[in-house]
Chain A
């Protein structure tokens, strides 16, 4: 649980009590007294799990969730609420919340939710890193090599590639060897994965 958890609650005592509890179990917490304060800083913060109170003046926790999405911030979010309003709960999940906890919030439920959020964040960053690596590789290829890799990824044989591009099979083989050298692998499966990842979400 190394990442910072961001807590937004307008009640000062709730904020400090939850911060105390989480810090006691080794979670780093940065708390905000209002959604506005968090919104102005969010873009400069490293990604982390969010804990939002639902009922705050001016901007509710649900509204904040929507505003963050509009800014392109999709961090794992746990909504905490003083009353179990089913409609609010449904809206929170529709906005992508990973959990909805009733106040008073039990320690274990909160920690479980944060762990789930952090695991999600890790997985998300892992995917982003892999994609960045694949994109860097693909952009390092010559236009011709890129064409060849695309056809490899589609499962086309060397002979068919040669035919399609009007090259000799030997030239295709040498392009393939150059791609493999840049990618650090000769495996067709790996090369295919690189190509697909570089293309982004299907």
Chain B
């Protein structure tokens, strides 16, 4: 009797794990399908612009309208660049660079991002405030990638609203360095909150939906995690990274 129960339990466990494997596979296939469809759409936009501009350019050449053609060519170059940027982001997404990890300062990264986005913040009438601890917070990461992650979060915060108030707050919690980026914008739309880190999910009008997906992937590679904090008045993304042991 006991033996039969055990056997049954083992069978159920096997069934369950087979189901999990199938589910995991299905969700990977699904994610890839969505990725492919999203990528097709993203790349189709600049390609459409490039094709139309080139065909319009052909008409302009026949007419000898050199000035018009020059303007069209400038736009074409910009669109080709847009396509290249999408590809580059996808490539980084598929294989982040792990060789360049080193102990680097979270405070410094936050300061650099504030400086990098200073002009943009000013243009939008936004205020970026830093709330950093006096102690050094060292994390193990490629400094460029760390900066890229913070840059993405702050850029999103700036895009959330005109005259946004953005706060970057860093502190040590146990053996983790935690950085929160919050803004007083309208918040992440409810229908995408759950999926905000999935590729091609975006709340922005011209967003590619790759920024946060890439950030999360980079942060995972750094051994950290990232979340959209719920239940707060402000939109807050929390980044948590292991403190580097020197």
Question: A166 contacts the other chain (Cβ, under 8 Å)?
Answer: no
Bound complex: CA A31 to CA B96 (Å)? 40
Bound complex: CA A21 to CA B51 (Å)? 9
Residues of B within 8 A of A105 (CB): 48, 51-52
Question: B46 contacts the other chain (Cβ, under 8 Å)?
Answer: yes
Question: A152 contacts the other chain (Cβ, under 8 Å)?
Answer: no
Q: Are B46 and A83 neighbours in the complex by a CB distance under 8 Å?
A: no
Q: Are A18 and B205 neighbours in the complex by a CB distance under 8 Å?
A: no
- The smallest C-beta distance from A77 to any residue of chain B, in angstroms, reads 18
B-contact bits for A150-161, CB 8 A (1 contact / 0 none): 000000000000
When C-beta atoms are compared, the residue in chain A nearest to B78 turns out to be A13
Residues of A within 8 A of B48 (CB): 14, 17-18, 80, 82, 103-105
Q: Are B205 and A57 neighbours in the complex by a CB distance under 8 Å?
A: yes
Q: Are A17 and B75 neighbours in the complex by a CB distance under 8 Å?
A: yes
Residues of B within 8 A of A82 (CB): 40-45, 48
Stretch at the interface among B53-61, B138-146, B150-158, B228-236: B53-61
Cross-chain pair count, CB within 8 angstroms: 74
Question: A107 contacts the other chain (Cβ, under 8 Å)?
Answer: yes
Q: Are B45 and A83 neighbours in the complex by a CB distance under 8 Å?
A: no
Question: B72 contacts the other chain (Cβ, under 8 Å)?
Answer: yes
Determine the main DSSP class of B at the interface with A: helix
Bound complex: CA A139 to CA B52 (Å)? 51
- The smallest C-beta distance from B195 to any residue of chain A, in angstroms, reads 15
Q: Are A13 and B46 neighbours in the complex by a CB distance under 8 Å?
A: yes
Categorize the interface residue count of chain B. 20 to 34
When C-beta atoms are compared, the residue in chain B nearest to A33 turns out to be B205
Residues of A within 8 A of B72 (CB): 20
When C-beta atoms are compared, the residue in chain A nearest to B202 turns out to be A57
Bound complex: CA A122 to CA B53 (Å)? 29
Residues of A within 8 A of B56 (CB): 17, 20-21, 24
Bound complex: CA A51 to CA B42 (Å)? 19
Question: B243 contacts the other chain (Cβ, under 8 Å)?
Answer: no
- The smallest C-beta distance from A101 to any residue of chain B, in angstroms, reads 10
**Chain A interface (Cβ within 8 Å of chain B)?**
10-14, 16-18, 20-21, 24-25, 55, 57, 80, 82-83, 85, 102-107
**What would 19 more interface pairs be, CB under 8 Å, given A21-B53, A25-B59, A105-B52?**
A11-B206, A13-B46, A13-B78, A13-B79, A14-B45, A17-B48, A17-B56, A17-B75, A20-B56, A21-B55, A24-B59, A57-B205, A82-B40, A82-B43, A82-B44, A83-B41, A103-B48, A104-B47, A104-B48
8 A-B pairs within 8 Å (CB atoms) are namely A13-B46, A13-B82, A17-B50, A24-B56, A82-B40, A82-B41, A103-B44, A107-B52
> Which 4 A-B pairs have CB atoms at the shortest separation, nearest pair first?
A82-B44, A17-B49, A82-B41, A17-B52
